[in-house]
Every structure is written in C-alpha cells, then in structure tokens.
Amino acid sequence: MKNFISVHDVTDINALVKKALAYKADPFKDRLLGADKRVGLLFLNPSLRTRLSTQVAAKNLGMEAIVFNVDKEGWALEFEEGAIMSGNTVEHVKDAAPILGQYFDILCIRTFPSLNNREDDYSEMYIHQFIKYAGVPVISLESATLHPLQSLTDIITIQENWKNINRKPKIVLTWAPHIKPLPQCVANSFAQWMNAWGEAEFVITHPEDYELAETFTKGATITHDQNAALENADFVYVKNWSTYTDYGKMYENDPSWMLTEEKMTITNQAKVMHCLPVRRNIELSDEILDGPHSLVSKEAGNRVWAAQAVLSEILMDKK
Ligand code: CP
C-alpha cells in the first residue's frame, strides 16, 4: 500500500480486516516492523480517537509517533498553486511538505472540509497536495470528504459481530439530528466501503434534501422512510451529515429521526454503531448508547487495529 486516503488504496478489504483482527489478538507480534521509523501525525482539526489510536498502533509496531497540531502550533498553510500569499497564510505546502517528508517515514493528516465551497472540498486539495509534495506515504486521518480509517474500523467491528454464515447482514446507515452542520465524510466513507465490500445488504435512510454524493452511494438502496429501512436491520450506523446538494447546510433538525429503543423493535435486534463523538439525546438516546445493542465503545477500541493494519501494510511496502 502506497497511501491510504480511500477504499481505492486497498486491494483486498477482507485481508486487511483479517490483518487488523490478528493485531487485536496479538498486538505486539510485529513489534520490530517499525523500528527506527517515525510517523508524523498532522492535525488541522481536533481529534480524540484518531489521534490516540494511531499513536498506540504506531507504538505497537515499534514506531515513534510525533503529533503536530498544525492548526494551533504551526504556520498557517497555503495549498493553492500559484497563490500570491498576501493574506493570512504564511507557508506554502510545497515548502512545508518536503521538509516533513525528510523528518518522517509516513505522514498522517487530518483536514476537515470548509463546508462553504463544495467544489473545493470535494477536490481534496489538501491531502492531494501533501501526497504530491511530501515524497513519503500519506495516510488520511479524515479528509474533506472521507474517513477511511473509521470505515475500515467499522467493517472490522461488523465482521467481529456477525457470525451468521448463511446470509449477509442488513446494514442501515441512518441520518440523525444534530445542532450544527457536520461534514459528509463519515457517511460518504461508510457508503464507499460498504459498496466496495459487497458483503451486506446496504440501505441508506435520510430526510429529503440530505442526499449524499452518488459517487459514494451508488449501489446502495436509498429511502426517506426510516422505519422501512430499519425493518429487520442487523446493524444500524447512526450519523448526522449536512446537505450535499445545497452544500453544507442544515435544513432541519427533526428529533423524530433520533434512534430510540422503540424504533429498535423494528430491527432484527440490531447492533448500533456510531463513530463518536456523539451528542447524547440529540443524535442517539442514552438508552441506546448505554444499552446492550450499542457497539459504539468496542468500535472506537477497534480504531487501534485498523490503524495498525494500515501502518503495517505501508511499512511492508516500503521494505
Ligand atoms: N471517530 C473519530 O474520528 O473520532 P475523533 O474525531 O475523536 O478522532
């Protein structure tokens, strides 16, 4: 694996999941693989799980991980080619990235979308500029449109919790209310990985006007009827996202879209997933999050094994 910015960087999803679960069973089995190697974790936005799980994963492989909060501690970066830098940006990525490429063997980057300009966000300029100029492998820690480490984690968690070999699980991605517009990354990415994986009956449900980009959802069943979607679901993935068509807006915050125990009775005793952080009793009720159906905490724990599998693939490729 050269870079990890989407499912397209993965040749065999099931093999990568198997590798992650092998690390879960024996975290230190490749403790020397990353010896004398350094990974740089660059954050242009906040994180709890992604940051810490990737640090733990690197440590398990014998790598040193160095975190740099670019948004708070670094010079403001410019990403536009040919920019006349008379504004707030201080350093161009084409100057900064090659230096980081000399300091680190692998660069990991988190950048959120602006939610102001869809064309800019969906061009994924930030992460592509790092790949262009760093000269070392780049791992996305969530970008403007995708969150591949989260989606790999989600498939790991589903595989761990689905033991029925006689049929595929029904997996529902449902929109949930929120208090402010959020990126589409997690939903886009989950849809992209589900469709590429192909080992589930995959349904997306959301209110009207919350369509996601077809490039990620193509292949899924899409409905505005949440109850119909939830019928006989085995897994329910809960997530808010802002509008894609009239970009970055929050048209409504209908609380009836929040998943409750009552709605869960329609499902096949489904397991509930969420990437976290979650707004309790807005996106998901306490009763679900604290109840027996929730996989949320285990899912977050699995972030380590996803990161470890990806770091391992890239280290092996570099050998
Ligand atoms: N799910 C996730 O990416 O969490 P963080 O934003 O805390 O990293």
Q: Measure 150 CA to ligand 1 centroid, in angstroms.
A: 8
Residues 238 and 208 in one domain: yes
DSSP annotation string for 82-105 = T----SS--EEHHHHHHHHHHH-S
Q: Measure 277 CA to ligand 1 centroid, in angstroms.
A: 7
Residues 286 and 312 in one domain: no
Residues 177 and 133 in one domain: no
What would the pLDDT profile of 46-95 be if each residue is shown by its tens digit? 999 999 999 999 999 999 999 999 989 999 999 999 999 999 999 999 99
What would the pLDDT profile of 92-126 be if each residue is shown by its tens digit? 999 999 999 999 999 999 999 999 999 999 999 99
CB atoms < 10 A from the CB of 62, how many? 16
- Count of residues for the chain? 319
What would the pLDDT profile of 258-312 be if each residue is shown by its tens digit? 999 999 999 999 999 999 999 999 999 999 999 999 999 999 999 999 999 999 9
Q: Copy the structure tokens of residue 34.
A: 């990353």
Q: Copy the structure tokens of residue 151.
A: 């989606």
Q: Measure 301 CA to ligand 1 centroid, in angstroms.
A: 11
Closest ligand 1 atom number to CA of residue 147: 3
According to DSSP H, which parts of 26-92 are helical?
Answer: 49-60, 70-73
Does any ligand 1 atom lie closer than 6 A to the CB of residue 276? yes
How many domains does the structure of the chain reveal?
2
Residue whose C-alpha is closest to residue 48's, from 56, 59, 60 = 56
CB atoms < 10 A from the CB of 101, how many? 19
pTM here is 0.97
Range of 92's domain? Answer: 7-146+302-318
Q: Is the pLDDT of residue 42 over 80?
A: yes
In this structure, is residue 178 part of a structural domain?
yes
Cβ atoms of 145 and 186 within 8 Å: the answer is: no
In this structure, is residue 70 part of a structural domain?
yes
In this structure, is residue 217 part of a structural domain?
yes
Residues 117 and 186 in one domain: no
Q: What is the mean pLDDT of the segment spanning 29-34?
A: 98
Residues 168 and 211 in one domain: yes
Residues 289 and 312 in one domain: no
Compute the mean pLDDT over every residue in the chain, rounded to the nearest whole number: 97
Residues 103 and 200 in one domain: no
Does any ligand 1 atom lie closer than 6 A to the CB of residue 271? no
Amino acid, res. 147: H
Does any ligand 1 atom lie closer than 6 A to the CB of residue 45? no
Does any ligand 1 atom lie closer than 6 A to the CB of residue 48? yes
CB atoms < 10 A from the CB of 164, how many? 8
CB atoms < 10 A from the CB of 103, how many? 12
Closest ligand 1 atom number to CA of residue 48: 7
Q: Is the pLDDT of residue 318 over 90?
A: no
Closest ligand 1 atom number to CA of residue 276: 1
In this structure, is residue 151 part of a structural domain?
no
Amino acid, res. 220: A
Residues 141 and 245 in one domain: no
Q: What is the pLDDT of residue 252?
A: 74
Q: Copy the structure tokens of residue 140.
A: 């996305």
Backbone Cα Rg of the chain: 20
Q: What is the pLDDT of residue 253?
A: 81
Spatial distance between the Cα atoms of 40 and 216, rounded to a whole number of angstroms: 29
What would the pLDDT profile of 158-211 be if each residue is shown by its tens digit? 999 999 999 999 999 999 999 999 999 999 999 999 999 999 999 999 999 999
Spatial distance between the Cα atoms of 306 and 313, rounded to a whole number of angstroms: 11
Q: What is the pLDDT of residue 225?
A: 98
Q: Is the pLDDT of residue 248 over 80?
A: yes
Residues 244 and 310 in one domain: no
In this structure, is residue 1 part of a structural domain?
no
In this structure, is residue 97 part of a structural domain?
yes
Ligand 1, atom 1, residue with closest C-alpha:
275
Closest ligand 1 atom number to CA of residue 142: 3
Does any ligand 1 atom lie closer than 6 A to the CB of residue 275? yes
Q: What is the pLDDT of residue 161?
A: 97
Q: Measure 86 CA to ligand 1 centroid, in angstroms.
A: 34
Q: What is the pLDDT of residue 319?
A: 74
Residue whose C-alpha is closest to residue 265's, from 213, 311, 230, 214 = 230
CA distances from 25 to 149, 239, 288, 302 (A): 19, 29, 28, 11
In this structure, is residue 157 part of a structural domain?
no
Residues 138 and 242 in one domain: no
Ligand 1, atom 6, residue with closest C-alpha:
47
Ligand 1 mutation target, pool 42, 44, 47, 67, most atoms within 8 A of CB: 47
Ligand 1, atom 4, residue with closest C-alpha:
49
In this structure, is residue 229 part of a structural domain?
yes
Domain containing residue 68: CATH number: 3.40.50.1370
Q: Measure 142 CA to ligand 1 centroid, in angstroms.
A: 8
Cβ atoms of 172 and 203 within 8 Å: the answer is: yes
Closest ligand 1 atom number to CA of residue 50: 8
State the residue for tokens 């489904």: 270
According to DSSP H, which parts of 136-259 are helical?
Answer: 148-160, 185-197, 214-217, 226-230
Residues 264 and 309 in one domain: no
Does any ligand 1 atom lie closer than 6 A to the CB of residue 143? no
Ligand 1 mutation target, pool 44, 276, 284, 304, most atoms within 8 A of CB: 276
Cβ atoms of 145 and 212 within 8 Å: the answer is: no
Does any ligand 1 atom lie closer than 6 A to the CB of residue 50? yes
- Going by the DSSP 8-state scheme, the letter that residue 53 receives in this structure is H
Q: Copy the structure tokens of residue 264.
A: 């869960």
Q: Measure 297 CA to ligand 1 centroid, in angstroms.
A: 12
Residues 254 and 280 in one domain: yes
